[in-house]
Amino acid sequence: MYMSDPRFAIIDKDVKVVIWDLDETFWNGTLSEGDITPVQAHIDLVHTLVDRGIMCSICSKNDFEQAKAELVRLGVWDKFVFPHIEWSPKGQAVRSILERMQLRDENALFLDDNHLNLEEVKYFSPRIACLDATGSTDGSQSDLSGLAGLPQLRGKDDRDHARLQQYRVLETKEQAQISGNLSNEEFLRQSDIQIKIIADFEDRMDRVYELINRTNQLNFTKQRVTTDEQKAELQELLRIPGVHAGLIHVRDKYGDYGLVGFFCLRRRFNGTVVHHFAFSCRTLNMGVEQWVWNHLERPEFEIAKPVANSLDIPAEVGWIRQVDEFGDAAANAGGQLCLVGGCDLQQVSFYCGSERDEFVNKPDDDGLIVRYDDAGFFLNPREQRIANHWALNHVAGHNLAEMEALDKSLKASDVIILSMFFAFLTKNLFTYGFPDETDRYLLTIPPKRLFGLVRQPKTAIQMLNHLHHLDLDEAQRLNLVRRSFEKTIGLMRPDAKLFILGAAEQIGEQAARTSGARAVYNTMCREFCEAHPGAIFIDVEKLVPAEEFVDSDHYTRKGYFKIANFINMA
């Protein structure tokens, strides 16, 4: 019956707020002229909408205190947010309500019995649905109860009124800023905004889908996940090594905003792909999405417009702090990380903290892999004369400045994580030097890099002139790695912690082919950690479930999270 009401045809978008006129709309009669007659169906409708997470507001030309007293008497005042009750034009008032609620006009419904008011509101908010609530000719109230049957006002179950509380927070914040006469940035700084990044969110996938599919103003990719096939693809994506993903939980001193954002990106040698970057409008203008983008090291991607805010303004968001748990001090406060080894360490570090120095595998300008899990990177003398050496500048990939930066980081860091199995396993070890000391400096060249270099004739000839291959046995290679650990211990602070990542011995094809070498390496690492206080061995096969291994040396996002959690808890 209600669905056929021709007035309702204008409502073609999901409604997030219903803005009520009062006189001759919410109730019969005019409050300023005498008694009014409540309409129970409308009181019930407000309760129904709020239980569905659809907010109700007021725009009425009336005396504020008189209208509030009547709504309190009817038991419904506390269900309205951002009420505008004063003798002023409604067009700009409704637009102001939507701006303060951080909602778009296309998701709003305005109810009024005055045709001029409806036209004025439409003028200032062109996409709003304006519904004529004029009563019948006999003076009876217009029937609006049928709105509850519209799919656009279905909402979702919110009988605990979480969404209502979130808008109460916005009201409180607005009043605090006004009364304190603070600028927006000053207000944000005193709000104590805290962000918690939730990496283990498998039990919250419904919220992930909701953020991806229902957010628009701050959805920067607009890649929807609605079908079972798309959901399966996302689940598979989340298992791929190199994929970072997290749910964003935000609180400040005014209240809890809940899970307001989701990101999913994949880091590869040839760049970063951002699959999802979506945020709820409830934190609009707080700097949350800018902070997360900065935290992810500002990955470049094509933004799916329109969006309400850009990501680079403001460039710095100094009023937000990351926490492990709400109520704690900022995560990683004073906790500097130093990471050396394979690119998989980036995934571990992502869950450990934001202040870090990374010496991890990367491509050079020619696309050839540079590895830092190289004994020479640790052990070579830091002498200025090698800064311009041909081998260092054209073959190694790293340079003297980076070696000096490593030493500085090892001295300053609170947590050091080393993944050095490749430095032991490889046989592509070389030396270089000067005529008086031809074999003074060590250099490891990974196979793909070596192959790429020798394909360049001039480079190949220079390599023959400058490099000497070292044919070392297993024990000698193992000793080089041990010496790298010893240098680390010698430089790090007594209160710092060193984590050494072990190698899988039983899981995956690579482990099956090199199980003996892996066992030897793990034994050395364990013995080293037992002999040096502050050094901790990470036994990956004990820590990471077999199903979280992608191959012998890479894990799913959940596997990396388990390693990071072990580090955080140690």
| pTM score | 0.61
How confident is the model over 86-109, as a mean pLDDT? 92
Query: Do 139 and 61 belong to one domain?
Result: yes
How confident is the model over 415-431, as a mean pLDDT? 93
First to last CA, the chain: 64
Q: Kind of pairing, strands 243-252 and 218-219? A: unpaired
Domain end, chosen from 322, 348, 375, is at: 322
Residue 465 lies in a domain: yes
Q: Is 22 helix (H, G, I), strand (E, B) or coil?
A: coil
pLDDT tens digits, 315-357: 889 999 998 888 754 444 447 889 998 776 777 776 776 678 8
Residue 410 contacts residue 340 (beta carbons within 8 Å)? no
Q: Is the pLDDT assigned to residue 486 strictly greater than 90?
A: yes
Q: Domain count of the chain?
A: 3
Q: Is the pLDDT assigned to residue 6 strictly greater than 70?
A: yes
Residue 329 lies in a domain: no
Domain end, chosen from 155, 170, 203, is at: 155
Question: Residue 324 corresponds to which tokens in the numbers above?
Answer: 């492990």
Query: Do 208 and 255 belong to one domain?
Result: yes
Residue 72 burial class via C-beta count within 10 angstroms: exposed 0-12, middle 13-18, buried 19 and up? exposed
Q: Which domain holds residue 71?
A: 2-155
Residue 176 lies in a domain: no
The CATH number for 536's domain is 3.40.50
Q: Is 72 helix (H, G, I), strand (E, B) or coil?
A: helix
Q: Is 332 helix (H, G, I), strand (E, B) or coil?
A: coil
pLDDT tens digits, 540-568: 999 999 988 888 988 887 788 888 888 88
Query: Do 151 and 194 belong to one domain?
Result: no
Q: How many CB atoms lie within 10 A of CB 1?
A: 7
Alpha-carbon torsion (406, 410, 416, 420), positive or negative: positive
Question: Residue 533 corresponds to which tokens in the numbers above?
Answer: 């206080």
Query: Do 467 and 525 belong to one domain?
Result: yes
How confident is the model over 114-123, as a mean pLDDT? 92
Query: Do 199 and 140 belong to one domain?
Result: no
Residue 122 lies in a domain: yes
Backbone angles phi, psi at 354, to 5 degrees: -100, -20
Q: Where are the beta strands (DSSP E) in 61-202?
A: 84-85, 108-112, 129-132, 193-198
Query: Do 359 and 310 belong to one domain?
Result: no
Helix (H) or strand (E) holding 535: strand 535-538
Query: Do 564 and 444 belong to one domain?
Result: yes
Q: Which amino acid is at 352?
A: C
Query: Do 464 and 513 belong to one domain?
Result: yes
Short-list 472, 516, 481, CA closest to 501:
481
Residue 177 lies in a domain: no
Query: Do 303 and 343 belong to one domain?
Result: no
Residue 174 lies in a domain: no
Residue 318 lies in a domain: yes
> Rounded to an integer, what distance in angstroms lies between the CA atom of residue 395 and that of residue 375?
15
Q: Is the pLDDT assigned to residue 304 strictly greater than 80?
A: yes
Query: Do 24 and 148 belong to one domain?
Result: yes
Helix (H) or strand (E) holding 262: strand 255-268
Least confident of 393-407, 460-474, 516-530, 556-570: 556-570
Query: Do 395 and 455 belong to one domain?
Result: yes
Contacts of 300 (CB under 8 A, 6+ apart): 271, 272
Q: Using pLDDT thresholds of 50, 70 and 90, give the confidence band for residue 241.
A: confident
Q: Using pLDDT thresholds of 50, 70 and 90, give the confidence band for residue 2.
A: very low
Backbone angles phi, psi at 37, to 5 degrees: -115, 115
- pLDDT of the residue at 119: 93
pLDDT tens digits, 167-226: 888 888 888 877 777 777 888 888 889 999 998 898 999 999 999 998 888 999 999 999
Short-list 250, 246, 260, 263, CA closest to 193:
250
CA distances from 422 to 398, 399, 484 (A): 17, 20, 13
Mean pLDDT of the chain: 89
Residue 166 lies in a domain: no
Q: Using pLDDT thresholds of 50, 70 and 90, give the confidence band for residue 162.
A: confident
The CATH number for 81's domain is 3.40.50.1000
CA 10 to chain centre: 37
